[in-house]
Structure 1
């Protein structure tokens, strides 16, 4: 499996980013700027981020197994996420500064802090609201790389204990600050850990302890979500399970895998730029579904060029200069 790509994961990434875009364009945009275009079911599209976190646990764990050092792992992660992120920060800040977007403008200090991807911990605003999930991702990278590489002898114990602690926190409904929640991944840690379990299953390394941990993670989710949200998250677990078992080939539709391959860049740029385009195009009087289709097409086109001319070349350059490519 080394240096291979699980194509079904691209399909899941495609589903995840489509859900998030659906949420922002057909529900969140309506909340903020035009309530007449609200699509009720779109409110659940934000759960696409949960699917991203499950996928991240799967992929990052595999990367860590083949990392020889913390430096090698972090070079790979920086090469993967930062070039496109820096471009999106500059692009979105410049566009909003020139065109404006109600409630979405930030200061120069916020812009500079965003370049470090530590803005939330430093108390600055996000240039684009979707960056909140990157804070969660980076925090996950920190903890899992620390224990899987530097303190690997403790990883097995943490793997068993951490989900149980999360379950206890959910059952007791403990009140804690948002920064503490983010630092220790209280809200989303169960999804990342479940992703690790699915990665083990895919590599045929699923032990009784991994199965126990997976069941605890799913149980944590049953305390976190209710109703349609719970059913959606459980469905995501089901999709991850069938992909892990090698039974998800039916998901590998070309449109989904194509969008999935662009999903990171789409995610980075779709929200605020999408709002601006929707706001300016709404004057033509076209139906909202047509406007969202046009705007999404523009975002996909921009993302295509970001991947082709920024993500892939810069990643290759960074890996060649600072370390061997090992992650997918």
Structure 2
């Protein structure tokens, strides 16, 4: 979970005079937005995070959830689990939202601005989550083995996965996927975002992701992320629809991405190992992926601009810290509370505690630290000092 999934600070849409096709007037204006936020996207972002949370607490039939509850969640939640088992699709939802939001936030910015915006948005809440999770699992290690202090320190870089170090929380794998997306998209941002360049990027990434599967090259697969790529690409193309208006090329990119995305979601979710699913599960996954594409497509063409509920904006702000905190800490809370409270009361209380923790991280850490970090990153050294160093 972007998290990429993540709440960017978008720039105001404007026409692009250097595009390869005439730029349609932007139809969105400020409709359906609070400030620079698309409110409907905030709602979708929170839904995605809540789906993943529910999957990790009541949907995944093996591993941590069952260990936390003391028996398989299929026994603990015989009805809820049938729905919650699909909660992992919230990650795919994050990826398509991230493609849309990152393209929107990067438009008109320099590479330096893009870099600073990502650091400011991604790291403050993440640092807090790593430290909080480390503290919790060190005091109550019943849900995982002891975590070495130096491994926790490396986790603070968000580069632990390529270096082969276990993440403080299993959900952090999506952050490395998001970082790789940022690095790829930075190649276009460095040249300046235009219609032609973004379309070329989407097409080239699609081809590379398909080729990576066919040649089975680990390095190429690591870079282009075949299973995640169609979701990111679709999100980018849908933002382009919002910015420039509908055209055959953009909808063609969205259509091809949907066809590839539903295939990967059914058979190769989050990796190269083929998943065996029955027909009923395959249909459910395909329907959900299609629904996500349709809803974000509706946002792109302005059909959901009437959504302006302040509660969704608040929910969107809590999404990232909630995603970062929910798994390991949620399991510890379940393990401790299930012995004294009824099952559904335990689940509801754990979710409430996690939401409160997410709010506190956002309010007490993310907001103030983001401001200070932004100021620090915007500092420019004195040119005269640079001359004396040389």
TM-score, scaled relative to structure 2: 0.76
In structure 1, runs of 5+ residues without a counterpart are none
Partners of 2:243 and 2:319 in 1: how far apart?
Answer: 25
Cα contact 1:110–1:124 (8 A) shared by 2? yes
CA-to-aligned-CA distance 1:124-168 (integer Å, 9 cap, x gap): 100000100001001100110122324868654332232244345
Could you tell me which residue of structure 1 aligns to residue 255 of structure 2?
A: 215
Q: Secondary structure of 1:45's match?
A: coil
Task: Choose from 100, 105, 112 the match for 1:58.
Answer: 100
Could you tell me which residue of structure 1 aligns to residue 206 of structure 2?
A: 163
Q: Which has the higher helix share?
A: 1
In structure 2, runs of 5+ residues without a counterpart are 1-10, 13-34, 267-281, 380-390
Q: Secondary structure of 1:203's match?
A: helix
After TM superposition, the structure 1 = structure 2 runs for residues 309-320 of structure 1, keeping only pairs within 5 Å, are 309-320=364-375
After TM superposition, the structure 1 = structure 2 runs for residues 289-304 of structure 1, keeping only pairs within 5 Å, are 289-304=344-359
After TM superposition, the structure 1 = structure 2 runs for residues 1-328 of structure 1, keeping only pairs within 5 Å, are 2=12, 4-28=36-60, 29-33=64-68, 34-35=71-72, 36-38=75-77, 39-68=81-110, 70-103=111-144, 105-150=146-191, 155-167=198-210, 172=214, 175-177=216-218, 180-224=220-264, 225=266, 226-249=282-305, 253=309, 255-287=311-343, 289-323=344-378
Which structure has the greater CA radius of gyration? Answer: 2
Partners of 2:108 and 2:351 in 1: how far apart?
Answer: 36
Instruction: Indicate how the Cα distance of structure 1 residues 66 and 319 shifts in structure 2: closer, same or farther if over 3 A, else same.
Output: farther
Superposed displacement of residue 252, structure 1: 5.2
Partners of 2:222 and 2:289 in 1: how far apart?
Answer: 20
Cα contact 2:212–2:220 (8 A) shared by 1? no
Cα contact 1:17–1:48 (8 A) shared by 2? yes
Instruction: Indicate how the Cα distance of structure 1 residues 156 and 244 shifts in structure 2: closer, same or farther if over 3 A, else same.
Output: closer
Could you tell me which residue of structure 1 aligns to residue 16 of structure 2?
A: none
Instruction: Indicate how the Cα distance of structure 1 residues 255 and 72 shifts in structure 2: closer, same or farther if over 3 A, else same.
Output: closer
Partners of 1:104 and 1:200 in 2: how far apart?
Answer: 46
Cα contact 1:11–1:251 (8 A) shared by 2? no
Partners of 1:321 and 1:106 in 2: how far apart?
Answer: 31
Partners of 1:7 and 1:17 in 2: how far apart?
Answer: 16
TM-score, scaled relative to structure 1: 0.89
Most deviating of 58-67 and 125-134: 58-67
Most deviating of 108-117 and 133-142: 108-117
Partners of 2:164 and 2:298 in 1: how far apart?
Answer: 40
Cα contact 2:231–2:257 (8 A) shared by 1? yes
Superposed displacement of residue 322, structure 1: 2.4
Structure 1's consecutive aligned runs of 4 or more residues displaced over 6 angstroms after TM superposition are none
Higher relative contact order (Cα pairs below 8 Å, separated by 6+ residues): 1
Partners of 1:250 and 1:106 in 2: how far apart?
Answer: 47
